[in-house]
Amino acid sequence: MTMKKLFIILICIGITSMAVGQDFPKHKVGKKFESEFQKLVSGEFTGSVNGLLIIQDANNVESVFDFQCSNAKLVIQKDPDEVYDVSTKIYKGTTISGKTEVEYKTYAASNAIRIRLSDEWFELSLIDGACMEVIADLDYEYKRDNTKEYLILQTINEFTLSNCTYLIKNEQQMTATKVKDFKPYEKKIKIMPKSVLIFAINRDK
């Protein structure tokens, strides 16, 4: 068996072990992303972000992360294949301290959210497959004035993000490790209800 085939088998086993006994994220067919940036192929726009994220860790301890006129930007990345959309829209923001980051992505009719805590990223993404559904418990709405477009994100019910880190990271480890020892090292956090972020993106570069 080649190393490539072994790697594929190990990945499948890892994914299966994650799925057993685990609730899959709630998803739904979403309303359209009514952003004026939706049809752009590429670009970068500056802005700010306000609001707060209420995060619960694995020990059920809640922390509040404050976004108060913090720096933000919208990065539009071209999809060279244009499978379902011409580009991915990535909203990026940081807390006042700069120690915590958040990224919110849209592509076609799906979305994703990532949060960096203590140099570790946690994510929930539905940007996969046919890209037709959104995170059910994360509401989104677009507003605009003469100079800015506002993206309002609000948590309706709690939902879980995962780091999905794997123990085996290279072929050398794989050769010295039995298949049964290949397991994901997974941490989880929850975004709690009433968390809200408002991105204010300048309509001109």
Q: How many CA atoms lie within 13 A of 203 on its CB side?
A: 11
| Band (74; pLDDT cuts 50, 70, 90) | very high
Please list the residues that pair with 140 across neighbouring strands: 153
Beta strands in the chain (DSSP E): 27-29, 43-56, 62-78, 87-94, 101-107, 110-117, 120-125, 133-135, 138-144, 148-155, 159-162, 165-166, 184-185, 188-191, 196-202
pLDDT at 24: 58
Alpha-carbon distance 183 to 186, whole Å?
Answer: 9
Alpha-carbon distance 13 to 7, whole Å?
Answer: 10
Helices (DSSP H) in 148-202: which residue ranges?
171-175
pLDDT at 128: 85
Q: Which two tokens stand for residue 92?
A: 């990026």
pLDDT at 14: 44
pLDDT at 186: 82
Residue 19 pLDDT exceeds 50: no
Q: Each residue of 138-169: pLDDT tens digit?
A: 999 999 999 999 999 999 999 999 996 655 44
pLDDT at 185: 72
| Ramachandran region, residue 39 (left: φ > 0; alpha: ψ -120 to 50; beta: rest) | alpha
Residue 82 pLDDT exceeds 80: yes
- Per-residue HEC secondary structure of 26-51 comes to CEEECCCCCCCCCCCCCEEEEEEEEE
* Residue, of 6 and 65, whose pLDDT is higher: 65
Q: Say what percent of the chain tops pLDDT 90.
A: 63
| Band (7; pLDDT cuts 50, 70, 90) | very low
| Band (118; pLDDT cuts 50, 70, 90) | confident
Lowest mean pLDDT among 21-25, 59-63, 93-97: 21-25
Alpha-carbon distance 35 to 87, whole Å?
Answer: 13
Domain range summary for the chain, segments of one domain joined by +: 3-202
- N- to C-terminal Cα separation, the chain: 53
Kindly report the average pLDDT of the chain as a whole number. Answer: 83
184: helix, coil or strand? strand
Q: Which two tokens stand for residue 34?
A: 């009514």
Nearest to 114 by CA among 141, 88, 148, 82: 88
Residue 120 pLDDT exceeds 70: yes
Q: Each residue of 28-56: pLDDT tens digit?
A: 888 889 999 999 999 999 999 999 999 99
